[in-house]
Structure 1
Amino acid sequence: MVTVSGVVDRMSSTLLRVRSATGLGSQVVDIAIAEGTSLHLPAPGELVLGVAVTRTEHAADLIKLCAQQQGAGVLLKPPFTREPELRELAERLGTALVEVSPEAGWAQITWLLRTVLDAAMLADSEAADGRGDHGAATGDLFTLADAVAAVVDAPVTIEDAQSRVVAYSARQDRTDQARVDTIMGRRVPHDVLARFRSRGVFRKLSRGQSAIFEPAQPDGTLPRLIVPIRMGGELLGSMWAVVPDPVIPERALAFADAGPVVALRLLRWRATVDAEAARHQERVRLLLHGGEGWQAAAAELGCDSGRYRVVAIAPRFPATTPESEGSWLALKEQVARGIGRSPVVAESSGVLYAVVQAGADGRAALRALPVNTADSDSIAFTVGTPVEPGELPRSREQAAELLGLLRSELLPGVVAVWEEVWPAVSLHRLASTAARADLTDLGPLAVLAAHDTRHGTQHVPTLFAWLRHPGDPRTAGSELGIHPNTLRYRLKRLQAVIDLDLTDPDVRLALLMQLTIRRWARPGIGPLSAQD
């Protein structure tokens, strides 16, 4: 177990800061997330995260509820943590009040807290809950980071070969913006990596065995002492210590000597994490695709009761630059680590599928993701209908179908929710079925389309707009971006190309059906093709 004080120490003052004098010795067993004023009663020992709290009275209610239920404490962001009445209330009720850095995202804090709790709960158990090896390996690495920090007398991070933070020491008193961003994001930011790479740091790491001193940089980045972590010639990762200036040779040598010990633990961590990740992904895929054993998978993943939606996330268009590919990879990692204690996320055929609890509407499901869907116009987000756990394959198929419609530009924008776009889905399915009957080859429409191709005219879209808005040339013209008189002129010209009796309702209906098929039919999109 770990106390509130222990959690704050592990997370460091970069992210968390104690704002009350009581409750710090309370045992922390889990976290509870309060979305604004909505909160299920916290269990004893849970830390309450005041996500989206916007009013002082709401913050006070959370503190009272936490005390009533014997919760471990309340985490809030400024300005609430700096209001004297809230601090006095927390101290009077014996509830720990902890301030979260304003720059820290709640998804990041949630993930980091759960990492700390997992390490604390499982470090002494090799086989607890079938995941003891993972917990013990993680705990070993955090313990090692503390020991190495004491040796070098500096805050330390242990990183894997992809510059992702695996563990870090409790003390992070000497820090800079690069270290803050690294711990908050659980990996070294791309711009910081670029700066160190340009100075040849990673080239030295790939070739050397001893500690490397990197002096301070003009942007305010403090000096670093860096040690490669190797095993059998393979570079497994590295240790980074933030130091005030060059350290004495004896201390640098002691820092480097810790490398082989860390390498053994890092190998163990990597093996257990890879095995657990593979097993987790298989459970998620079974839940998304159905089949024998889905009930056990749902229970293990915590999705065996309630209603859920599947969200499909993918590039709307193929990545064309290293930057766009890098953005997609970063988003995948952000989603995969930010939903719940064990994220119910799996990748299939380049699409990321996430299972989230069904909210009041599909947009609420998107808000459960640790990303802002408005941040990028190149990533598509589609949401299936809410279903029971056993019907999740249907919600996944729907999300995949909507993704196909977005990618084919049959739907506008980058977000599609099943209930909101049912007319488009209906038209597309109808058009796809009718296209197999070669209905567009009947009548004079093919002649009109061929004329447009040869002469650059716009007769087909003009006819479609007129049929979609009968008796309303202003709206039809607006859809085409032309004046109503121009629309009328085009109609006269197209009737000179083909003989159409547009007063006949059957002719109008047949033409509208054919034109709908031309617009909405796309091969390879639909419920039967969404079984990826």
Structure 2
Amino acid sequence: MSTHPARGLSRVLEDFGPTLLDLVHGDPSAAAELGGVGIHDPHDEQHYPERAVVLGVGVHGAEETARLMRRLTGPGAAALVVRAPVDAAALEAVAAETGIALLTLTRGASWAQLAAMLRTLLSEGDVGEAGGQTLGGVPSGDLFALANAIATLLDAPVTIEDRRSRILAFSGRQDEADPARVASILARRVPERYLRVHEEHGVFRKLYRSERPVHIPPPTLGDEAALPRVAIAVRAGDEILGSVWAALREPLTQEREEAFQEAAKLVALHMLRHRAGADAENRLRADLVTTALEGGSGAVAALGRLGLADEPLLVLALGLEPAAGEDHAHVTAERQRLTSALAVHLMAVQPRSAVALLGDVAYALLPVPDDPAFARERAVQVATDFLQRTGDRTGAVVGIGSVAPEPAALARSRTNADRALRVLFSGRVARRVAAIGDVSIDALLIEMRDLAVANRDELSGPIARLAAYDRSHNSHLVETLRAWLDAFGDVIAASASVFVHPNTFRYRIRRVAEVGQIDLRDPSERFAAMLQLRLMGLCD
């Protein structure tokens, strides 16, 4: 259960509208807690969280919008967002019929930014126990609620920014500010042209050196009209966490300036709590994923807390092969980066998935249909798309386990994902993604090699005799036998593969039979020779 208040549609509109969102139809106060964010794709299978806010990217016109709203009644969506403007009158009856709220996204706003901001707002505290922690009367870590509280104190729209001038949260009433503030909200960061002006005038130097609010005159950029700003640094001891900015139409009174200074201390506590909460949630999620993967008595409870109970799952294992001489710290950071990227990627294609970095491998629990063949195909496609987006330079590979229809089978799915990952690392297959069903023989051969090493088994029989003869006579009998077996006994093809004349090859294959004391007409002896040769190849 969430440790934060319910995330309803009214809260979304309070925080993001009218700068980003406008309500066209629907009663936001009547909606229950929202379950997450979904992105509409007409060309792919859709998996929406219950009571989702669905982003209708590329949906235009009243007819297309109405058709989508009717389709969304099946999954139980709470709201649909489309790009403004829309024909409100034409969609009023559909909104009443479906009970789905219709919102519009401001022109120029980014769908990606809206999705990220909605997920930040709606997913806080999804993993964990209930609680009622507050700081200064504001839910702990809720930066949007804090921004609104400070805006009320100062009677001015407020933003909370990090050290890189990225917008972490903003208050309502941003439409009362200037185009520069609106552009910052839409881009989720302060535009470069304004940052350059602030740097030229030493604004950040003054801001980070002062304990008090810093008054900043409106920047002069051509004909753009801007309001004066007042900003204050947010500190935790000697560490600068970020800053709070207010756009002023009237100068602050002494009383409000002191309130602003006190508010900055509260922002620091919330930012630290927000950061610590994210770290704690990541640790908790990793613990829950670990418990689920073990498949023991706690797996069902762990899957329940992850929201993955009572459905088939499949384990993906993401591994990174470090380059020779690569710095350990760099590899560790790259693994963490890839884990975060995989979590974001899976959130888009399957919001109910869970990802955690356990040791050197990132494991993902992916909900799949109860059809092993289709589930494997879907997982391979998802993993392939992810690796294509990360690029070849990362050296990452993904092993895919077997479908786990119940929690007890998750441990087996993880084992199979690890087996597929090991095959990929061995270089036996020229691919970056492999399901265990596609590489099971290669995995079995690697495990047989391990067993032979563990038992200290030595090469014996015909292959041992051929290898010893090659070493003492500088001949190529093992190579000849391998080529002959690979070519199914086709002398012409086999001789071409080792670049010798067919007659020479026929002579060598006769010597193989004589020296190795092997009957090449016997299927059992041929199979035993092929198996030993494969195992030798693994040891090369």
Normalised to the residue count of structure 2, the TM-score between the two structures is 0.69
Contact 2:291 2:302 in 1 (8 A): yes
Give the count of matched residue pairs.
492
**1:118: how far off?**
5.6
For structure 1, list consecutive stretches of 5 or more residues without a partner in the other structure.
123-127, 478-483, 523-532
Q: Distance in 1 between matches of 2:476 and 2:111?
A: 51
Pair 42,235 (structure 1): closer, same or farther in 2 beyond 3 Å: closer
1:374 and 2:388 equivalent?
yes
Mapping of residues 478-489 of structure 1, within 5 Å: 484=496, 487-489=499-501
Q: Which residue of 2 aligns with 1:133?
A: 133
Q: Distance in 2 between matches of 1:325 and 1:198?
A: 37
1:438 and 2:438 equivalent?
no
Of 503, 520, 523 in structure 2, the residue corresponding to residue 504 of structure 1 is 520
Q: Distance in 1 between matches of 2:353 and 2:230?
A: 35
Contact 1:316 1:407 in 2 (8 A): yes
Match of 1:281, as an amino acid?
A
Q: Which residue of 2 aligns with 1:311?
A: 316
**1:382: how far off?**
1.6
Q: Which residue of 1 aligns with 2:146?
A: 144
Q: Which residue of 1 aligns with 2:426?
A: 408
Deviates more, 1:490-499 or 1:174-183: 490-499
Q: Which residue of 2 aligns with 1:468?
A: 486
Q: Which residue of 2 aligns with 1:350?
A: 360
Q: Distance in 1 between matches of 2:290 and 2:319?
A: 17
Of 24, 42, 54 in structure 2, the residue corresponding to residue 20 of structure 1 is 24
**1:347: how far off?**
1.5
Of 224, 238, 243 in structure 1, the residue corresponding to residue 242 of structure 2 is 238
Q: Distance in 1 between matches of 2:64 and 2:451?
A: 54
Pair 26,286 (structure 1): closer, same or farther in 2 beyond 3 Å: same
Match of 1:142, as an amino acid?
F
Q: Distance in 2 between matches of 1:202 and 1:65?
A: 50
Contact 2:17 2:172 in 1 (8 A): yes
Q: Which residue of 1 aligns with 2:342?
A: 335
Q: Distance in 2 between matches of 1:459 and 1:195?
A: 76
Pair 417,51 (structure 1): closer, same or farther in 2 beyond 3 Å: farther
Q: Percent identity?
A: 25
Contact 2:212 2:261 in 1 (8 A): yes
Pair 72,494 (structure 1): closer, same or farther in 2 beyond 3 Å: same
**1:361: how far off?**
2.2
Q: Distance in 2 between matches of 1:224 and 1:451?
A: 87
**1:486: how far off?**
5.9
Q: Distance in 1 between matches of 2:247 and 2:506?
A: 79
1:169 and 2:171 equivalent?
yes
Contact 1:383 1:398 in 2 (8 A): yes
Q: Distance in 1 between matches of 2:423 and 2:59?
A: 37
Contact 2:8 2:34 in 1 (8 A): no
Contact 1:145 1:158 in 2 (8 A): no
Give CA-to-partner distance per residue, 1:91-130, whole Å, 9 cap, x none.
5646432346898567x755643432466x99xxxxx952
**1:39: how far off?**
6.0
Of 58, 61, 69 in structure 2, the residue corresponding to residue 63 of structure 1 is 69
Pair 514,373 (structure 1): closer, same or farther in 2 beyond 3 Å: same
Pair 117,509 (structure 1): closer, same or farther in 2 beyond 3 Å: closer
Q: Which residue of 2 aligns with 1:125?
A: none
Deviates more, 1:385-394 or 1:205-214: 205-214
- Based on CA coordinates, which of the two structures has the bigger radius of gyration? 2
Q: Which residue of 1 aligns with 2:160?
A: 157
Task: Look up the SS of the partner of 1:412 in the other structure.
Answer: coil
Contact 1:49 1:74 in 2 (8 A): yes
Give CA-to-partner distance per residue, 1:307-345, whole Å, 9 cap, x none.
101111232335947987665433322334664778632
Match of 1:380, as an amino acid?
V
**1:293: how far off?**
2.5
1:75 and 2:81 equivalent?
yes
Of 292, 298, 301 in structure 2, the residue corresponding to residue 293 of structure 1 is 298
Task: Look up the SS of the partner of 1:444 in the other structure.
Answer: helix
Contact 2:54 2:80 in 1 (8 A): yes
**1:26: how far off?**
4.5
Task: Look up the SS of the partner of 1:130 in the other structure.
Answer: coil
Contact 2:24 2:104 in 1 (8 A): no
Q: Distance in 2 between matches of 1:468 and 1:498?
A: 17
Q: Which residue of 1 aligns with 2:435?
A: 417
Q: Distance in 1 between matches of 2:49 and 2:309?
A: 21
Deviates more, 1:326-335 or 1:281-290: 326-335
Match of 1:390, as an amino acid?
A
Pair 265,139 (structure 1): closer, same or farther in 2 beyond 3 Å: closer
Give CA-to-partner distance per residue, 1:369-407, whole Å, 9 cap, x none.
797221222222221111121221221122122222222
Task: Look up the SS of the partner of 2:501 in the other structure.
Answer: helix
**1:354: how far off?**
1.2
Contact 2:234 2:244 in 1 (8 A): no
Q: Distance in 2 between matches of 1:104 and 1:370?
A: 26
Task: Look up the SS of the partner of 2:434 in the other structure.
Answer: strand
Task: Look up the SS of the partner of 2:388 in the other structure.
Answer: coil
Contact 1:134 1:272 in 2 (8 A): no
Q: Distance in 2 between matches of 1:327 and 1:236?
A: 26
Contact 2:313 2:366 in 1 (8 A): yes
Q: Distance in 1 between matches of 2:420 and 2:482?
A: 24
Deviates more, 1:320-329 or 1:307-316: 320-329
Normalised to the residue count of structure 1, the TM-score between the two structures is 0.70
Contact 2:234 2:268 in 1 (8 A): yes
Q: Which residue of 1 aligns with 2:413?
A: 395
Pair 297,444 (structure 1): closer, same or farther in 2 beyond 3 Å: same
Match of 2:336, as an amino acid?
L
Q: Distance in 2 between matches of 1:386 and 1:303?
A: 14
Task: Look up the SS of the partner of 2:308 in the other structure.
Answer: coil
For structure 2, list consecutive stretches of 5 or more residues without a partner in the other structure.
1-5
